[in-house]
């Protein structure tokens, strides 16, 4: 089916999914570009396929698809350099799993940083991401784009982070927080651990004190004294890479 009108009701609905409130209400979100849409299709969370001219071979069998104009693509994508394919995807349900490692984000606001962290998590063998309730929306298009496909390869759960960490701690996980305080140890001093969660905090406030209070280890990264702190995406990536290189995680 082809749609050419910007005022078409389907176009209005698709465009509304750029708003967090509409994503939550409808339990749907948008991804754009061949790679992300194909990944969504493989995982059976693709609801609607929207394209202008080119349709990849991998998506030809998908039935619920609409061909639209460039103007409509631009409106739905909400960016000037829109892609040739957009997917409307369904929310996926998830829960805490018995996996060996999580990266957890405590009130991190920037979805671009979140995307960087998830991409690094996949690269360095982490198995899932936890996001606190006051962090960015995990279905934000900026976050999904920044993950470069990692979004569809690792579970991302938005949770009451403190309560989830307590549950994981009771299940034998060690809680590792990245923070500069008197109890911090150098990253090289971290011992081998079977199951663990690495927690990084917001760009301004760091890891909250209630989570610091239940942490088994508090890490710091050695760096030049002229720099007070690192971007949260950089810091998380350094820590995860160190753990990966230290053979705390299997190289898979």
Of 239, 222, 151, 217, give the one whose Cα is nearest residue 186: 222
Highest averaged pLDDT of the listed ranges 70-79, 136-145, 239-248: 136-145
Kindly state the average pLDDT of the residues 168-187: 90
Residue 136 scores a pLDDT above 70: yes
Q: What residue ranges do the domains of the chain occupy?
A: 2-90, 101-245
Of 153, 164, 207, 205, nearest to 183 by C-alpha is 207
Q: Taking 50 as the threshold, does the pLDDT of residue 251 lie above it?
A: no
Residue 248 has pLDDT above 70, yes or no: no
Give the model's pLDDT for residue 80.
65
Q: Which CATH superfamily is domain 101-245 in?
A: SPOUT methyltransferase, trefoil knot domain (3.40.1280.10)
**Residue 245 or residue 32, greater confidence:** 32
Q: How confident is the model at residue 249 (pLDDT cuts 50, 70, 90)?
A: low
Instruction: State how beta strands 85-90 and 28-32 pair.
Output: antiparallel
Examine the pLDDT at 177 and tell me if it is beyond 60: yes
Inform me whether the pLDDT recorded for 252 exceeds 60: no
Q: Is the domain covering 2-90 a CATH 3.40.50.1820 domain?
A: no
């Amino acid at each position: 089916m082809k749609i050419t009108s910007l005022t078409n009701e389907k176009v209005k609905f698709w465009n509304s999914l750029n708003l967090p409130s509409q994503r939550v209400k409808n339990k749907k979100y948008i991804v754009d570009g061949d790679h992300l849409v194909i990944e969504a299709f493989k995982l059976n969370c693709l609801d609607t396929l929207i394209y202008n001219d080119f349709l990849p071979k991998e998506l030809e069998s998908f039935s619920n698809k609409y061909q639209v104009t460039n103007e409509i693509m631009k409106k739905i994508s909400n960016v000037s350099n829109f892609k040739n394919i957009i997917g409307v995807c369904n929310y996926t349900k998830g829960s805490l799993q018995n996996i060996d490692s999580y990266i957890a984000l405590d009130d991190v606001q920037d979805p671009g940083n979140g995307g960087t962290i998830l991409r690094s998590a996949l690269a360095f063998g982490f198995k899932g991401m936890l996001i606190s309730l006051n962090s960015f929306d995990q279905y934000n298009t900026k976050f999904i784009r920044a993950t470069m496909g990692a979004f569809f390869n690792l579970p991302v759960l938005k949770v009451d982070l403190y309560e989830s960490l307590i549950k994981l701690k009771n299940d034998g996980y060690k809680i590792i927080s990245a923070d500069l305080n008197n109890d911090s140890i150098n990253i090289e001093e971290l011992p081998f651990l079977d199951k663990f969660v690495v927690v990084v905090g917001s760009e301004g406030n760091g890891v909250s004190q209630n989570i610091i209070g239940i942490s088994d280890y508090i890490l710091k990264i050695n760096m030049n004294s002229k720099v007070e702190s690192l971007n949260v995406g950089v810091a998380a990536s350094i820590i995860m890479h160190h753990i990966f290189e230290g053979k705390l995680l299997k190289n898979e």
